[in-house]
Structure 1
Amino acid sequence: MLDEDERRARQEAHWLVKEFGAEAPLYAAMKAEKAIEQKDFGRCARWKRVLEILADSGAAELRRGAAK
C-alpha cells in the first residue's frame, strides 16, 4: 500500500507527463529548485521523488520501444 506522499508524487508525475510530455522532468526539476530556494525541504523531497518516478517511467518507455 502506498503512503500519501508516494501517492501524491505518482499523481504529480502522471499529470506532468500528460501536460508537458517530454518536458515533464524539466518542470519537476524547476519545482524542486524553487522549493530549495524557499528552504522547503519536504516539498523538495517530493519533487525529487517525482523526478525519480519520471526517470523510471522513461526507462520503461525506452525498453518498450526497443522491444517493438
Structure 2
Amino acid sequence: MPGIILDDDERRARQEAHWLVKEFGAEAPLYAAMKAEKAIEQKDFGRCARWKRVLEILADDRRAERRAAAK
C-alpha cells in the first residue's frame, strides 16, 4: 500500500498477521482468536483490540485471495 501512512498499532497488527500466516498458514486465524480470548480473560482490552484487528486483516487477505483465484 504505497502512500499510506500507518500508525504504530496498525503497523504492529499487520506485522502480527504476516508472521501468523508465515508460521501457521491456514491456522493463523485460530491462533489470533486464541490470543484475543486470552487478552479478554486478562482484561487487557487494548491487546484484545489489536488481535481483533489481526483477525480482520487475515479475513481481508483471505477474501482477496479468493477473488484472485476466481478470476
Instruction: Give the length in aligned residue pairs.
Output: 67
Alignment root-mean-square deviation, CA: 1.2
Structure 1 residue ranges, 4+ long, deviating more than 4 angstroms after superposition: none
Query: Residue 65 of structure 1: CA displacement?
Result: 4.7
1:30 match: secondary structure: helix
Q: Given the alignment of the two structures, is residue 12 of structure 1 paired with residue 9 of structure 2, yes or no? A: no
Structure 2 unmatched ranges of 5 or more: none
Q: Tell me, yes or no, if structure 1 residue 26 matches structure 2 residue 30.
A: yes
TM-score normalised to the size of structure 2?
Answer: 0.89
User: By percentage of residues, which structure has more helix?
Assistant: 1
Cα distance in 2, alignment partners of residues 26 and 58 from structure 1: 14
Unmatched 5+ residue regions in structure 1?
Answer: none
